[in-house]
Amino acid sequence: MKITVLIENSVGVLIPQGLAGEHGLSVWIEHEGHKILFDTGQTGKVVENALRLGVNLKEAEAIVLSHGHYDHTGGLKAVLEFINKPIPVYAHPDIFSLHCVSSPVDRYIGIPFRKEELEGLGANFKWIKKPTEIFPGIWLSGEIPRKTTFEKIDESMYIKEGDKKLPDPILDDMSLFIKTPKGLVVILGCAHSGVINIIEHAKEVTGEEKIFAVIGGTHLGPASSKQLEETLIRLAQMEVSLIAANHCTGLSVASKFREIFGSKFRFATTGEIISV
Ligand SMILES: [Fe+2]
Ligand SMILES: [Fe+2]
């Protein structure tokens, strides 16, 4: 299994020149002959990054969207235009909710395209709400049950309904769970439902107890110190072999991870390749 970070907030050293970083996430997954694009970054720069990294997006069998936020879906139009043929797009129907945030600037942060526009470009939406094995051993989480007491949805996020601002449960937040002989690989988008809620759900859905790796955005950067602390404790108890966090994890949380998990932690910058 090979995972290539096509784009995220930063670009590392010792990787091909000319790669772009941007606030967002897109990951290329190759597993047992299947090729999946997980998220599309913010602006479409992912298309050129993929070329520079030797990834042929036209070989994607499916696109998976972790949730509707612009930093994960904004590149979708450019990707579809590049692929230039019909392709299944797995997502939760709430990706088209009017996702907004109140701080630091009150604004719309949802998907910047209409569904029809994307369908016209070849997106064949497959709506997912329940755990679904989209390819053998590759599970899309469905909605994540919110069970822990310490993991909270970012309170600055809301859904706009007419003049009303309703708390946004971000039900569209989904992750991928991939079974490998070493244990489960959990791939996060923004982990708005909480990293531990997601991992516990992964175990339940797949029947696999061993978590080998957690990769992607943890959203612990903006989380409370209590949430961060509890999450670190729980992760340490799980004896995860690899934590390759990035995106909404942020540098101060990343340095905490490094302190606690040592070489089991790596910051998965743009261009990083993770082989399992
Ligand atoms: Fe994000
Ligand atoms: Fe997000």
Coil vs helix vs strand at 4: strand
67-105 pLDDT, tens digit per residue, is: 999 999 999 999 999 999 999 999 999 999 999 999 999
- 217 alpha carbon to ligand 1 midpoint, in Å? 7
**pLDDT at residue number 13:** 84
**pLDDT-based confidence at residue 15 (cuts at 50, 70, 90):** confident
By residue range, what is the domain housing residue 267? 2-275
Report how far residue 276's alpha carbon sits from residue 258's, in angstroms, rounded to the nearest whole number.
20
pLDDT at 201: 98
> Which SS3 state, helix, strand or coil, does residue 237 take?
helix
β partners of residue 139: 133, 177
Q: What is the pTM of this model?
A: 0.98
How many structural domains is the chain composed of? 1
pLDDT tens, 164-207? 999 999 999 999 999 999 999 999 999 999 999 999 999 999 99
CA of 168 to the centre of ligand 2 (A): 11
Q: How far is the CA of 248 from the centre of ligand 1 (A)?
A: 6
* pLDDT averaged over every residue in the chain: 97
Q: What percent of the chain has pLDDT over 90?
A: 97
CATH number for the domain harbouring residue 72: 3.60.15.10
Cβ burial, residue 7 (10 Å; 0-12/13-18/19+): buried
Residue 16 has pLDDT above 90, yes or no: no
What would the pLDDT profile of 105-136 be if each residue is shown by its tens digit? 999 999 999 999 999 999 999 999 999 999 99
Q: Residue 132 is encoded by which pair of tokens?
A: 């679904």
Give 174 Cα–ligand 1 centroid separation in angstroms. 12
d(CA 255, CA 112): 33
At residue 114, the pLDDT reads: 98
- Give the closest ligand to the alpha carbon of residue 193: 2
| Angle between helix 45-52 and helix 76-83 axes, rounded to 10 deg | 50
Beta bridge partners of 265: 243
Judge contact between 173 and 191, C-beta under 8 A. yes
The pLDDT of residue 17 is above 90: no
Instruction: Decide if 158 contacts 101 (C-beta within 8 A).
Output: yes
State residue 14's pLDDT score: 81
Give the mean model confidence (pLDDT) for residues 21-42: 98
